[in-house]
Amino acid sequence: MKNSGINSGISIIIPVLNEEAIISHCLEHLMANRSSTDHVKEIILSDGGSTDQTLVRAKRHPSVKVISSRKGRPFQLNAGARQASGEILYFLHADSFPPKNYDQHIRDAVKKGHKAGCFRMKFNTEHPWFRFISWLTIFNHKACRGGDQSQFITRDLFQQIGGYDTDYLIYEDNMLIAELYDRNEFKVLPFWLVSSARRFKKKGTLKLQLLFWLIYLKKFLGEPPEKLYSFYKKYID
């Protein structure tokens, strides 16, 4: 088996847009919880045009590389991947915090032949509904996946797929995940990532969950990406 990704390190790619409230915590967490500075080759912040203090705070960390991109997560994620020098790409939301030794866990998975996957996820709240959603992430089924869980993938496989589909300004994570499941290339690692429930607290837990389910249903029924995005902008963003 080709050991692509084992010796060349991990490139962490984080799309950001006005994340001044959380970006320092995210970067400090990544540095404090990696097992080795040799494993994490770089942290790339792909900025979609922040107008707050996000970039000022990010640049306080000399090991972080900041790049500019067209606004929109798929554009920002693909831009980060193009700039990455590692053979393992690790896509992460700014408000998701991977487990201790996350870099070693990812490298071990790739070494065993798992070219893509994610961590289990729990939210930073004890609300029963979020505990239920967290429990679902232990199952290796694409219906239990989402971008909040993060995504590792070898550079070779990412390029074969063609990266994130830029037609989908939302749902881009799910499109890539679906492709990986179709290829039988997905592994759920048995370690817990913690994600923020801030969007649910802002919009209302059940209301936002229902809106997300409606987007999934609309996609299942064949609505085009521009209509999904219009729905998202009207009711969620």
DSSP lists the bridge partners of residue 88 as 10, 154
Domains and CATH numbers, the chain: 10-196 (3.90.550.10), 197-237 (no CATH)
Of the candidates 151, 164, 46, the one whose C-alpha atom is nearest the C-alpha of residue 88 is 151
Rounded distance between C-alpha atoms, residue 188 and residue 164, angstroms: 20
User: What digits encode the pLDDT tens for the residues 71-100?
Assistant: 999 999 999 999 999 999 999 999 999 999
In 3-state terms the chain splits into helix, strand, coil percentages (rounded to 5) of 45, 20, 35
Rounded distance between C-alpha atoms, residue 49 and residue 71, angstroms: 7
Strand 187-195 and strand 96-97: the pairing is antiparallel
Is the model's pLDDT at 127 over the cut of 50?
yes
Question: Crossing angle of helices 205-220/225-235, nearest 10°?
Answer: 170
CA 35, 161, 182, 107: dihedral to nearest 10 degrees? -10
For residue 207, the one-letter residue type is K
For residues 45 and 64, is the Cβ–Cβ distance under 8 A? yes
Q: Look at residue 7 in the predicted model and tell me its pLDDT.
A: 56
The fraction of the chain above a pLDDT of 90, given in percent, is 86
Is the model's pLDDT at 4 over the cut of 50?
no
Rounded distance between C-alpha atoms, residue 81 and residue 77, angstroms: 6
Q: Report the predicted TM-score, pTM, of the whole model to 2 decimal places.
A: 0.94
How many other CB atoms are there within 10 angstroms of residue 2's CB atom? 8
Q: Coil, helix or strand for 157?
A: helix
